[in-house]
Amino acid sequence: MNKTVFVSGASSGLGKAVAEYLASSGYRVYAGSRSFGREDVSPPKGCTGIHLDVTDGSSVNAAVSQILDKEGEIYALVNCAAFFTMGSCEEVSYEEISRILDTNFIGMVRTVQAVLPAMRKQGSGRIINFSSINGVLSIPFQGGYSASKHAVEGWSEALAQEVSRFGIQVSVIEPGDCRGGSRKYRNLNPNSAESSSPYYEYYIAGTGKIHFDEQNGMEPVKVAKAVRRLLDSKKPPFRKVVATLTQRSSIWLHKILPGRLFNKIISDYYAPKKG
């Protein structure tokens, strides 16, 4: 098999797991990250590292051109690049929200727009955009991240409708909590973490619960295997949830419960324990 796959955000976490697993499965993988190109940073095992900053259009275009010059085509694009800040909606700055959206959503738009002309020309292609359970429902102190993933969902729907006539298939993958996420790509908001913040106790309890759930989450390779199944499928589903039964249940409850009741359940889950 000589299918070229371009994976963004491949220096750590899910992006790295996806890149390594696809390479071990026989795909020719170009792993993109801002870290690659430095002597002290190696690409994932079996992958060709390529410098990629999804917040810089010229970097994205250069990376795609480099792959096309070497391979002639791109079979699939897998958008994994992500960043987020954990803080209250009131206290996270406009600048930080913009940074989150520029990486998680606009960065995805840049890479998709860069590969589409080649995919249209070849009459085929696969695009897998990483959303999240948080692209379906939101949780406290991840407002910016949730907003970016909701944007991924909506934009990807329109994309799938527009490009299917060119033989291009689009899927959105929605992972739950996974182990091994890089702290380098997440920030704790200093305002919310100050004892003077009106959200302080809730913030400390909530972020503690978030970290606990991640540390006890799925192995990243489970998500990587789901990505491969999407790439190997002749008719891949548009949405693919990869999560525990509990997290799948939260999606189901989000659909059927009144909004006020669902929000209370989630709020109470992350709130400080009484007594």
- Compute the residue count for the chain: 275
Residue 131 appears among annotated catalytic residues? yes
In degrees rounded to 5, what are phi and psi of residue 171?
Answer: -130, 150
Residue 168 in contact with residue 126, Cβ under 8 Å? Answer: yes
Query: CA 180, CA 246: separation in Å to the nearest integer?
Result: 20
State yes or no: is 149 an active-site residue: yes
Beta-bridge partners for 130? 173
Report the alpha-carbon distance of residue 234 to residue 36 in Å, rounded: 33
Q: Which of 27, 145, 199, 202 is catalytic?
A: 145
* Catalytic option among 11, 59, 148, 250: 11
Q: How many CB atoms lie within 10 A of CB 186?
A: 19
Q: In what order do the strands lie in the sheet with 76-79?
A: 48-51, 28-33, 4-8, 76-79, 125-130, 168-175, 239-242
Q: What is the DSSP letter of 88?
A: -
| Rounded-to-integer distance, Cα 256 and Cα 35, Å | 43
Known active-site residue 93: no
Catalytic annotation, pick one of 8, 33, 88, 131: 131
Burial category of 178 from C-beta neighbours within 10 Å (exposed 0-12, middle 13-18, buried 19 and up): buried
C-alpha distance across the termini of the chain, in Å: 60
Catalytic residue among 3, 16, 149, 240: 149
Q: Which residues are catalytic?
A: 11, 131, 145, 149
